Amino acid sequence: MDQHSSLKLLGSWADSHTHRVQLALKLKGLEFDYQEEDVVNISPALVLHNPVYKMVPVLLHKDRPVVESVVILQYIDETWAGNPLTPADPFERAVARFWCHFAEDKLAPAVGAVFSSSGEGQKAAVDQVHENLKLLECEMRDGAFKGRRFFGGDKIGLLDVVLGCGSYWLAVFEEVMEVKLVDPESFPAFHAWLRDFEEQNEVKETIPAIDKLLEYARGVRQMMLSLSSSTSTSVPATAAANATGNDDVAVDAIDGSSG
């Protein structure tokens, strides 16, 4: 049975979540059809296959949809056993999943907030990114990922795909916003990992050229500034810029979405 010819990905060219799935499929050596979706004018196909969120990416495997990029990655890894992305050990898996959650829940919104804010708000957002990168850097230097080339070990794994597809926005935002986000002196481990990751062939084939991303980012920024809207505008194709505020400790501890 040829499972490969039955794969179709609905995505968006500038969406890091789409890139995650594309990269994973490439790493597994899987052929797939790709359909570019308009994320503003949602297509009937997207509504049909992802009625809850109406978002890309959507992976169709034998016409059955799988949505949410991290869920899709795990589905791909479990369905096609070659070149595993997820560690075999349950604790190692839990660690990888935790940092995937961190990437989505803390890092991505902080990076998005840098892009969608200005002045004092932006300074606070940049500080937040640095705080988050510090936590990751610490784990890479002295913690769970110490001594590893990639988060997955010698080869790219789940966390590399999740963090890597999205980290290129750091360089883009640094240029467009004229801020310093990943300084090699402050974050040597992260910086080295990112350079290595971006050099991998499959990654180079997946991530759009930097000048296209720069053009895209400049366009969105221009649009946001000309609308002169509030600083909480979310940016399409990057994670929502809704960094959590300073909720009460008790509320946060019992009630936060990261429970």
Partner 1 sequence: MKAVVLLDFWASPFGQRCRIALAEKGVEYEYREENILGAKSPLLLKSNPVYKKVPVLIHDGKPVCESLIIVQYIDEAWPDHAPLLPADPYARAQACFWADFVDMKFNECGSRLWKLKGEAQAAAKEEFIGILKLLEGELGDKKYFGGDAFGFVDVALAPFVSWFYSYETCAGFSIEEAAPKVVAWGKRCMERESVANALSHPDKIYEMVGVLKKKFGVE
Contact 125, 113 (CB under 8 A): yes
Q: Which stretch binds partner 1 (CB under 8 A): 170-178, 179-187, 193-201, 251-259?
A: 251-259
Among 10, 25, 66, 237, binds partner 1 (CB under 8 A): 66
Based on CB atoms, which residue is closest to partner 1, 57 or 220? Answer: 57
**Which residue type occupies 226?**
S
Please enumerate in sequence order all residues whose Cβ is within 8 A of that of 206, keeping only pairs 6 or more positions apart, or say none: 19, 22, 23, 26, 165
Q: Strand 7-11 relative to strand 33-36: parallel, antiparallel, unpaired?
A: parallel
The token duo for 47 is 């509504």
Count other Cβ atoms within 10 Å, centred on residue 23. 25
Please enumerate in sequence order all residues whose Cβ is within 8 A of that of 64, keeping only pairs 6 or more positions apart, or say none: none
Among 74, 128, 200, 206, binds partner 1 (CB under 8 A): 74
245 is an interface residue for partner 1 by CB under 8 A: no
In DSSP notation, 135-202 reads HHHHHHHHSTTTT-SBTTBSS--HHHHHHHHHHHHHHHHHHHHT-----TTT-HHHHHHHHHHHHSHH
79 is an interface residue for partner 1 by CB under 8 A: yes
Based on CB atoms, which residue is closest to partner 1, 36 or 255? Answer: 255
Under DSSP, is residue 9 helix (H, G, I), strand (E, B) or coil? strand
225 is an interface residue for partner 1 by CB under 8 A: no
254 is an interface residue for partner 1 by CB under 8 A: yes
Q: Which stretch binds partner 1 (CB under 8 A): 3-11, 87-95, 120-128, 182-190?
A: 87-95
Q: Which stretch binds partner 1 (CB under 8 A): 25-33, 69-77, 218-226, 231-239?
A: 69-77
Q: Which stretch binds partner 1 (CB under 8 A): 6-14, 32-40, 150-158, 245-253?
A: 245-253
Among 38, 101, 142, 184, binds partner 1 (CB under 8 A): 101
**Which residue type occupies 85?**
L
102 is an interface residue for partner 1 by CB under 8 A: yes
Q: How many CA atoms lie within 13 Å of 124's alpha carbon, on the beta-carbon side? A: 14
Among 3, 83, 232, 258, binds partner 1 (CB under 8 A): 258
Name the residues that contact partner 1, by CB under 8 A. Answer: 52, 61, 64, 66-68, 71-72, 74-75, 78-79, 90-91, 93-94, 97-98, 101-102, 106, 135, 247-259
